[in-house]
Amino acid sequence: MFPKPLSYLLVAACLLLTASMSIVAVAAVPAMAEDLANGAKVFRKCRACHDAGPMARNKVGPVLNGVYGRTAGTFPDFNYSKAMVEAGGKRLVWDEVTLNGYLEAPTTYLPKNKMAFTGIKDEGERADLIGYLKTLK
C-alpha cells in the first residue's frame, strides 16, 4: 500500500474532488423555481378580464387555456386588436420571454393592443404567473 502520509493526501484529494462536483451540481439547479400557488394567486388579477378552466369563455380578454405556446391573437372567436393579430402574423408565440415582457408592461411591449392592464412590475410574481399559465390546458 501507500505510505500513511500519501494515503492521507489521496483521501484529501478525493474528498476535495467530491466536494467540487457537489458544488457544480448545486450550481446547475435553477436559482428560482416558479411558485405555482402564488401564480394562481397572482392570476386573480387576470380573472376580471380573462377566464380559464374546462368551462372557460371569452370575456373582455380571451380564454387563457393553452396560452403558453400559442401564437398571439389566435384563440377562436375572440375579437383581437389589429396589433395583436399582426404580432401573431409575425410569429409572436407566448413563451417565458414574450409573456414576461408583455405582462410587465402590455402597452409598451405591444403598442395599440386592447389590454388596459398596466402590468405586473414584480419579476417574481411574473415568473410565478407564467409558471401557472403553463399549467392551463
Sequential pLDDT tens for the chain (137 residues): 555 554 554 444 444 444 444 443 333 334 457 899 999 999 999 999 999 999 999 999 999 999 999 999 999 999 999 999 999 999 999 999 999 999 999 999 999 999 999 999 999 999 999 999 999 99
> Is residue 13 domain-shared with residue 77, that is, in the same domain?
no
Is residue 53 domain-shared with residue 118, that is, in the same domain? Answer: yes
Which pLDDT score is estimated for 23?
43
Same domain, 8 and 42: no
Domain count for the chain, please give it: 2
* CA 16 from centre of chain: 37
CATH number at residue 121: 1.10.760.10
Q: Distance between CA atoms of 62 and 73, rounded to whole angstroms? A: 9
| Same domain membership, residue 76 and residue 46 | yes
| Residues 25 and 57 both lie in one domain | no
Write out the chain in H/E/C secondary structure.
Answer: CCCHHHHHHHHHHHHHHHHHHHHHHHHCCCCCCCCHHHHHHHHCCCCCCCCCCCCCCCCCCCCCCCCCCCECCCCCCCCCCHHHHHHHHCCCECCHHHHHHHHHCHHHHCCCCCCCCCCCCCHHHHHHHHHHHHHCC
Instruction: Write down the pLDDT at residue 5.
Output: 58
Q: Which domain holds residue 4?
A: 1-30
C-alpha cell at 58: 371569452
Same domain for 86 and 106, yes or no, is yes
The pTM score is 0.76
Neighbouring residues of 19: CB distance < 8 A, sequence distance ≥ 6: none
Same domain, 36 and 61: yes
Residues 48 and 102 in one domain: yes
Q: Examine the domain organization and report whether 67 and 14 are in the same domain.
A: no
* pLDDT value for 32: 53
pLDDT at 78: 98
39 lies in the same domain as 22: no
